[in-house]
A and B are shown apart, each in its own frame.
Chain A
Amino acid sequence: MASPSTRSYHGCDKDSDGSKRGKLSVLIVDENVLVCRVHEMLVSKLKVAKELLTETATDGKEALDLHLSGSSFDVILMEMDLPIMDGPEVTKKLRAMGVKSIIVGVTSRDSKVDREAFMAAGLDVWLEKPLTAHKLKSVVEALEKK
């Protein structure tokens, strides 16, 4: 049974910097509770938007259901190994639905075959774990350019 997704909000203090985007929403898709917690914290520290929204899903079906219920995200951090429906399958389905989010594969798998299969499913970027503040920042910068 899928566990409920969790949503958290982080607002930046008022500042006069008008260059920040209004809102950044990130979906973290990983079965690993520790990884979700760390990724959530990394996102909360980004100083790129006035409002940061993170949501987590612990399996592929949950990630898909969120989109089917109308949710949308700027960035999706997607693990390859997921219960019920794996990362590549979810990614293919999301792209088939017309989802235009930046989808980042974040995984411990490092084989060329796995990487190519995941990229072919519709990823924008493939990153090997651990996710760092630096890697995450470059993903958001790519979003700004899009």
Chain B
Amino acid sequence: MLGWGVEFLRAEMNRLLALLFHQGVLDEQFLQLQQLQDESSPNFVSEVITIYFHESEKLLRNLRLLLMERELSDYKKMEIHLNQMMGSSSSIGAKRVRNVCVAFRAASEQNNHAGCLRALELLEHEYCYLKNKLHELFQIEQQRALASVVRYPARHN
């Protein structure tokens, strides 16, 4: 029964990953990240994703603040933040988030305030979706790890 639990959870993880790949939310760079994890760095993926969440939320806040400046938006600063977000997103395989950043950057280069606002809303939406799905993935992974270390009680004579 316990073995069945581990296998079921592994299948759930694979199903979720396949869905995220199919939706274009993640790309092969995420697999590369998983391949970098090993016994010497067993929490590498979750460590990197945690940094990604922290940094992305800071960048999204900064982008919103810049766009709220009604007098003059600092498009140069916006592009720097966007390049940062693109760098992080592409490094973890967050394909859809990265693609929205590309469109956002294009609007910023044209000093298109309305375009930038629309892109920011889409970016926040895509980021939220990605974050929820990655949390789901890590929860399943944690349950699988727990299920695989549960032992039958030792026999006492």
Let me know if B32 and A133 touch, CB within 8 A: yes
> In the bound complex, how far is the Cα of B29 from the Cα of A38, in angstroms?
11
Check A32–B55 contact: CB distance below 8 A: yes
The answer to whether A41 and B55 touch (CB under 8 A), given A34-B92, A35-B87, is no
Interchain CA distance A131-B33 in the complex, whole Å: 11
A31 on the B face (CB < 8 A):
yes
**Cβ contact of B91, chosen from A107, A109, A130, cutoff 8 A:** A130
Task: Check B36–A129 contact: CB distance below 8 A.
Answer: no
Given contacts A37-B47, A37-B48, A130-B90, contact A32 B36 (CB under 8 A): no
A121 at the interface (CB under 8 A from B): no
CA of A134 to CA of B32, assembled, Å: 10
Chain B interface helix/strand/loop/mixed: helix
CA A33 to CA B41, docked complex, whole Å:
17
Q: Which of B29, B44, B83 contacts A41 (CB 8 A)?
A: B44
Q: Please, how many angstroms separate the alpha-carbon atoms of A37 and B84 in the complex?
A: 14
Residues of B within 8 A of A32 (CB): 55, 84, 87-88
Asked whether B51 lies within 8 Å of A81 as measured between CB atoms, the reply is no
Minimal Cβ-Cβ distance residue in A for B27? A130
**CB of A6 within 8 Å of the partner chain:** no
Chain A residues within an 8 Å CB radius of B51: 33-34, 37
Contacts of B52 in A (CB 8 A): 34
CA distance A133 to B41 in the complex (A): 17
Given contacts A37-B48, A81-B84, 20 further A-B contacts (CB under 8 A): A32-B84, A33-B51, A34-B55, A35-B87, A35-B88, A35-B91, A37-B47, A38-B91, A38-B92, A42-B36, A45-B36, A79-B87, A81-B80, A108-B84, A108-B86, A108-B87, A109-B83, A129-B91, A130-B87, A132-B32
**A positions within 8 Å CB-CB of B:** 30-35, 37-38, 41-42, 45, 79, 81, 107-109, 129-133
13 pairs, CB–CB < 8 Å, chain A vs chain B: A30-B87, A32-B55, A32-B87, A34-B51, A38-B48, A38-B92, A41-B44, A42-B36, A45-B36, A81-B84, A129-B86, A130-B87, A132-B32
